[in-house]
Structure 1
Amino acid sequence: MDRENPATEESLEPVETDDADDVEAALALADEVYPSWSERRLEERRQLLADAADVLRENEEEYAQLMTREMGKPITGARSEVEKCAWVCEHYAEYAETYLADDVHQSSPEAKALTSYEPLGPILAVMPWNYPLWQVFRFAAPNLVAGNVGLLKHASNVPGTAEIIEEVFLEAGFPEGAFQSLIVGSDAIEGVIEDERVRGVTLTGSEPAGRAVAETAGRELKPSVLELGGSDPFVVLDDADVETAAEVGVQARTLNSGQSCIAAKRFIVHDAVYDEFVDAFVEEMEALTVGDPSEEDTDVGPQAREDLMKDVHEQVQDTLDAGATLETGGEPLDGEGYYYPPTVVTDIPRDATMATDEVFGPAAAVFRVESEEEAIGLANDSSYGLGGSVWTEDLDRGERVARRVESGCVFVNELTKSDPRIPFGGVKNSGYGRELSEHGMKEFLNEKTIWVQSASDQ
C-alpha cells in the first residue's frame, strides 16, 4: 500500500499488501488458535493484556511518531492516544473477571439458572484512520481478554500502524494468530465477512461502508456493531458559563485537527449569550497554532488526505453560497501539506450543507436559537445521533435536556469523549451496538442460559 505524509506530501515507504493466499492463511490460523486461546485461564489472558499496556508505554514515542507521519496527527495528541490504548488494556485486565461473571436468575427452588458469557470465535474489525491506534485497541482489548481472536482490516493510509498493532500483542506474549492485521483493500472485506470461520464484525467508518458491512453480516446471520460518525450538537443555554463553553468548544471542534466522529460540529447557542459566545469562540479559534504536526506547540495539523481537505472546503463554500457568514478561516493554507484552518461559519440556513452533513475537519457551524425548546429541536434535527454536549450552570436542567437529545451519549458541561468505563455508540444513522465498558465487551459473546435442575426433583 502506498503511503503519504499529509504534512509534507512526501511519499513514505510502501507496505506490502496481503494477497488471497495470505488472507486464507490468516483465517486458518485464527480458526486454529481460537479453541486453545478461549480455553486459557482468564487470569492468563488478563495478565497478557496488562503486558500489552506495558509494551505500548515502552514504545510510546515510536508509535506516536508513526501516526503523525501516516495521518498527520499532532504529536502531543498521538502520545495521548498511545497512553489511552494502554489505559483500555489495563481497564479490561482489571475488570474482565467482574464483567464476565455469571448472572444468576430467579428459578424454581430445585434449580439454578444463570447466564454464562462465552466467546464466539474470530471477530473482524474494520477500522478508520483518524484514531488509528485507539479505535483498534478499544475493540481488541475486551475481545481478546474475553477469549475471542481478532482480525483487523485497517484503513489503507495507515498500514504501518496496522502492522505495529499486531506486533504489540506478539511482543506482549499473545500466541501467534490471536490478533492479526490483514493488509488488504476494501474489496476483500465482503469475502472475509462471509467466511464461516469469522463469527462477527465491527466497523467504524462511513455510513455507506457501514450499510455494506451490515448487509453482508445480516445475510450471513452474524452479529455486527457499527459506529458511523455524527454531527454532534454543542448546546449553549442562556445560563451557561460562556467563557468556558467557548474554550472547551474550540477543543471539541478541533481535537485531532477536527477529524473526529464525536467532535462538536453544530454549535447551538441561545440568543441571550449568542454574541458573547461567538466573539469568544472566534477569538479562541484564531489563537490556535496550525502547522507541522511533529512540533510540540501545534494545535491543528494537516487533514489526513488531500481529498479530505477538499471535501471540508467544499462543504464550507456550499454553506457560504447558501447565505451563511464566514467569521474566520475558510480557505486552504498555501504551501506544502493539506492544511485547513480553524473556521467558523454563522447565519447558516437550516438546510445548508454544514447544517445537514457531517463536516470532518476544523470547521464549526454556529446557530442562534431563541429558547431551550428550539435548541433541543435543532439538536435532534439530524440524521445522526452519536454524541452531544449541553452547557448550563443548572445541573438538573442539563440532565433534563441531555435526556431529550437523540444520541448515544450526552455530556453536560464537558466535551463528548470515549472512555473505557462507559458504553459508547450511536443511534439513527450513527449506527448501532456499543463499544467499551461491560456493554461493549458483551456484543460479541454468547449470552448462554444454563438451567441446572436437581435430578432428584425430576
Structure 2
Amino acid sequence: MAIATVNPATGETLKTFDPLNAGEIEDHLVRAEQAFQEHRTTTFGYRSERLLAAADLLEADLDSISRTMTTEMGKPLAQARAEAKKCVKTMRWYAHHAEELLADEHPDPADVTDSGAARAVVRYRPLGTVLAVMPWNFPLWQVVRFAAPALMAGNTGLLKHASNVPQTALYIEELFRRAGFAEGCFQTLLIGARAVEDILRDPRIAAATLTGSEPAGRSVASIAGDEVKKTVLELGGSDPYVVLPSADLDKAASVAVTARVQNNGQSCIAAKRFIVHTDVYDDFAARFTERMSALTVGDPMDEHTDVGPLASEQGRSDLEELVDDAVHRGATALCGGRRPPEHPAGWFYEPTVLSGIDPAMRIHHEEAFGPVASLYRVADLDEAVTVANDSPFGLSSNAWTRDPDEQARLARDLQAGGVFFNGMTASHPGLPFGGAKRSGYGRELSGHGIKEFCNMTTLWYGPES
C-alpha cells in the first residue's frame, strides 16, 4: 500500500510520501538507541514536565489535528475532537501517576529472610526502544496510549503507523519533539509493512506492541518470538452485546447504536453481535433498527453527520462481502445493506441491521469492520452465554441486566478482556485494556499497561550490604 493521504469521503489522493530507505531507517535506529541511553536515566519529574507540555500543545492543536484525522480516515469531526481530548487526558494521567505506579516495592523482610537477604527491593526499569505498529482507525489514540506510558517509564519509541494516516503519524513525532523530549525519544517511520521484520529483528529493538488485524499480530508475534522479545497485541474483536429482560430497553437500544457505529463502525471494541433474550427481542429489535435507520450518513466534516465513509475502498468491499454472504444464506437486512445512492463518491455504507444470523454465515465468525450489526434471538441466559462465547475473539463484551445473579454469571463466564454492565465498552487510562483468545494478549493503560514494557528487577541485599 502506498504511503498517502487519500480522502475516503471523495477517493481523492491528497498527498503522497516516499518510504524511508535502508540508510534512513538505520539513522532512526541509531538515534533511538542513543536517546534511550540518556532518557532512561532521567527523573520522573523531567519526563512528566515534557508529557504535560505535549498535552498542552495537543490541546492547543485540537482543531487542526482533528481535521487531519478526519481527512485521512473519515471519522466524523466531532469524534476526532473527542479522540484528541482523550489523548490529552491520558497524557496528563500518566504524567501525574507514573512515578507512583512504578515506585519501588519493598517485600517484608520477614518474608524473605530465608533467602539470606537482609532486605530486597523490586524495581521497574525500562526495556529500551519499543517498536509500535499501529492502525488507522484511532490514529492518535492508539499511539498515545502506548507512547505516554512508554515514555514515562523511560523507554523510547519507534512508530510504524498505518500507511493511510501519514500526516497524523508525522504530527505525533513533532508533538513530542516540540514538548521537549530529546531527539530520538519518539520517531515516526514512514515505511511499508515489509520493512517491519528487519527492524523488529534488530538488536536495538527491545520489544514491540501492535494493534491491528489477527494476521498482522501473528506475524509480529512470530518474529518477536523467534528473537525472544516481549510483545503486547491488541487484535480484532467481535464483541457481544447481551440484552436480558430486566434491562432498560430504551437506553439499551440507544447505547447500542453508539456502540455499533462509533468511528463509522470501525472499532475493535465496537459491539457487533447483539444477543437478545426472546422475551424482549422484538421490542429491542424495533427500537434499535429505528435508531440505526435514522442516522445521518455524509460528509464527516459536517457537524451533523453521524456516520462518515469507511477508511478504504477495500474495507467497504470486505464489509459488503460479509453482508451479501449473510443475506444469500438467509439473513434479513432490517435496514441498510447497501451503498447509499446519495453518496456515489467516497466509500460510504449504510448503517445496517441483520437478523437471522446462523453459524453457516461468515459474519458469525468474522469481524464486521463497519456499521453493520448482527441480531441474535436467544431463549435464556445459558444460550446467551453460549452464543456470546461462540467467537474466536474475546476483546470486550457488554451486558444489559439489572439482576445481580445474572451479572455474577456473566462476569464469571463471558470470555473477554472486559465485561461492561449497562453501558458500552470504553477505554480509560486508569483501567487495564486488552483481550483474550485471538484478540491478543497483554494489557494497555493503567498500572498494568505501563509495566508491560518494564524489566521487573529484583534487588537482593545480603547481610553485609
Secondary structure of residue in 2 paired with 1:338: coil
Matched ranges for 1:130-209 at <5 A: 130-209=137-216
Matched ranges for 1:104-119 at <5 A: 104-105=106-107, 106-108=111-113, 111-119=118-126
Q: Tell me the alpha carbon deviations over residues 56-101 of structure 1, each in whole angstroms, 9 at most, x when there is no partner.
A: 1000001000001101010000000100111110010010011101
Q: Tell me the alpha carbon deviations over residues 144-174 of structure 1, each in whole angstroms, 9 at most, x when there is no partner.
A: 0110000000000001110000011011111
Q: Tell me the alpha carbon deviations over residues 267-321 of structure 1, each in whole angstroms, 9 at most, x when there is no partner.
A: 0000000000000000110111110000111110000001101111110010011
Residue in 2 that maps onto 1:56: 58
Q: Tell me the alpha carbon deviations over residues 377-416 of structure 1, each in whole angstroms, 9 at most, x when there is no partner.
A: 1101111000000001224532431221001111001101
252-261 or 31-40, which deviates more: 31-40
Residue in 1 that maps onto 2:84: 82
1:19 aligned partner, one-letter code: N
Residue in 1 that maps onto 2:243: 236
Could you tell me how far 1:452 is from its partner in structure 2? 1.3
Secondary structure of residue in 2 paired with 1:12: strand
8 Å contact kept, 2:338–2:349: yes
Residue 18 of structure 1, aligned match among 17, 20, 30:
20
403-412 or 12-21, which deviates more: 12-21
Secondary structure of residue in 1 paired with 2:106: strand
Matched ranges for 1:234-383 at <5 A: 234-334=241-341, 335-383=344-392
Secondary structure of residue in 2 paired with 1:138: helix
Could you tell me how far 1:112 is from its partner in structure 2? 1.1
Residue in 2 that maps onto 1:219: 226
2:262 aligned partner, one-letter code: L
2:81 aligned partner, one-letter code: R
Distance 2:234 2:43 in 1: 31
8 Å contact kept, 2:4–2:165: no
Could you tell me how far 1:431 is from its partner in structure 2? 0.7
Distance 2:143 2:335 in 1: 35
99-108 or 204-213, which deviates more: 99-108
Secondary structure of residue in 2 paired with 1:276: helix
2:212 aligned partner, one-letter code: G
Secondary structure of residue in 1 paired with 2:138: coil
8 Å contact kept, 2:70–2:76: yes
Distance 1:230 1:9 in 2: 27
8 Å contact kept, 1:88–1:420: yes
Contiguous gaps of at least 5 residues in structure 2:
none
344-353 or 277-286, which deviates more: 344-353
Residue in 2 that maps onto 1:452: 461
Could you tell me how far 1:39 is from its partner in structure 2? 0.3
Q: Is 1:125 paired with 2:132? A: yes
Distance 1:442 1:58 in 2: 30
Distance 1:174 1:116 in 2: 24
8 Å contact kept, 2:417–2:434: yes
Secondary structure of residue in 2 paired with 1:104: coil
Matched ranges for 1:62-77 at <5 A: 62-77=64-79
Could you tell me how far 1:239 is from its partner in structure 2? 1.1
8 Å contact kept, 1:390–1:402: no
8 Å contact kept, 1:399–1:412: no
Could you tell me how far 1:354 is from its partner in structure 2? 1.6
Secondary structure of residue in 1 paired with 2:452: helix
Residue in 1 that maps onto 2:7: 5
2:398 aligned partner, one-letter code: S
8 Å contact kept, 1:402–1:411: no
8 Å contact kept, 2:240–2:271: yes
Distance 1:408 1:103 in 2: 27
Q: Tell me the alpha carbon deviations over residues 331-379 of structure 1, each in whole angstroms, 9 at most, x when there is no partner.
A: 0123111000100000111231121110000000000000001000110
Secondary structure of residue in 2 paired with 1:438: helix
Distance 2:192 2:214 in 1: 18
Distance 2:408 2:266 in 1: 28
Contiguous gaps of at least 5 residues in structure 1:
none
Residue in 2 that maps onto 1:436: 445
Residue in 2 that maps onto 1:409: 418
1:107 aligned partner, one-letter code: V
Residue in 2 that maps onto 1:419: 428
Distance 1:198 1:112 in 2: 33
Distance 1:230 1:395 in 2: 26
213-222 or 1-10, which deviates more: 1-10
224-233 or 106-115, which deviates more: 106-115
Distance 1:112 1:88 in 2: 36
Distance 1:210 1:427 in 2: 13
How many corresponding residue pairs?
456
* Structure 1 outlier segments of 4+, above 3 Å: none
Could you tell me how far 1:16 is from its partner in structure 2? 3.2
8 Å contact kept, 1:38–1:119: yes
Distance 2:385 2:119 in 1: 47
Could you tell me how far 1:17 is from its partner in structure 2? 2.1
Distance 1:409 1:223 in 2: 23
1:319 aligned partner, one-letter code: A
Distance 2:412 2:93 in 1: 28
Could you tell me how far 1:184 is from its partner in structure 2? 0.2
Secondary structure of residue in 1 paired with 2:258: helix
Q: Tell me the alpha carbon deviations over residues 99-153 of structure 1, each in whole angstroms, 9 at most, x when there is no partner.
A: 1011222321861122100001100000000000000000000000110000000
Distance 2:76 2:439 in 1: 26
8 Å contact kept, 2:433–2:445: yes
8 Å contact kept, 2:208–2:229: yes
Secondary structure of residue in 2 paired with 1:269: strand
TM superposition score normalised by structure 1: 0.98
TM superposition score normalised by structure 2: 0.97
